[in-house]
Structure 1
Amino acid sequence: MEVVLSILQVFVSVVLIALILMHSGKDAGLSGAFGVGTGQGPLGGGSYVERNLNRWTVFFCIVFVVNTIVLIKI
């Protein structure tokens, strides 16, 4: 069980890092490559994509925290 949770933790960590890097900040960063913060793009504007990006980031943050607590308790 601990091995499975540890592998899940590594996977969630990598996904979380990628999601955080895709957020737009002061400069475009990685989000500029995908048109997340520009309002242009094939997905109908940046606000919809950015809202989904925020939801996925929060979801993976919650999974990361819960998995960390479970791994500490084991």
Structure 2
Amino acid sequence: MITGFSIALIVFSLLMVLLVLLHKGKGGGLSDLFGGGMSSSLGGSSVVEKNLDRMTIIVGVCWITTIVVLGLLLKNSY
């Protein structure tokens, strides 16, 4: 059971990294360094951004839940 949650944590972690990197840069931080300051027609739709936000929130909640459950399982196994 712990192995299943560990695998789920790895999958959710990779999905979180991917989803966060897909977001469009909003300010003048590191996103400008890597070309985020240039205007592009890719991903300009507000519907796409809203869906990406929703997916990021859902994966984030699953990620945090998996961490808490895995922590409780590991605490109780010792």
Flag the structure with more relative contact order, 1 or 2, with Cα contacts below 8 A and sequence separation at least 6: 2
**After the TM superposition, which segments of 4 or more aligned residues of structure 1 sit over 6 Å from their partners?**
none
Report the TM-score when normalising by structure 1.
0.77
2:42 & 2:66 partners in 1: Cα distance?
32
Tell me which residue corresponds to 1:50: 49
Question: Between Structure 1 and Structure 2, whose CA radius of gyration is higher?
Answer: 2
% same residue: 32
Q: Which residue type is aligned with residue 7 of structure 1?
A: I
TM-score in terms of structure 2 length: 0.74
Shift of 1:35: 1.3
Gaps of 5+ in 1: 40-45
The answer for unaligned runs of 5 or more in structure 2 is 74-78
State the Cα RMSD in Å.
Answer: 1.8
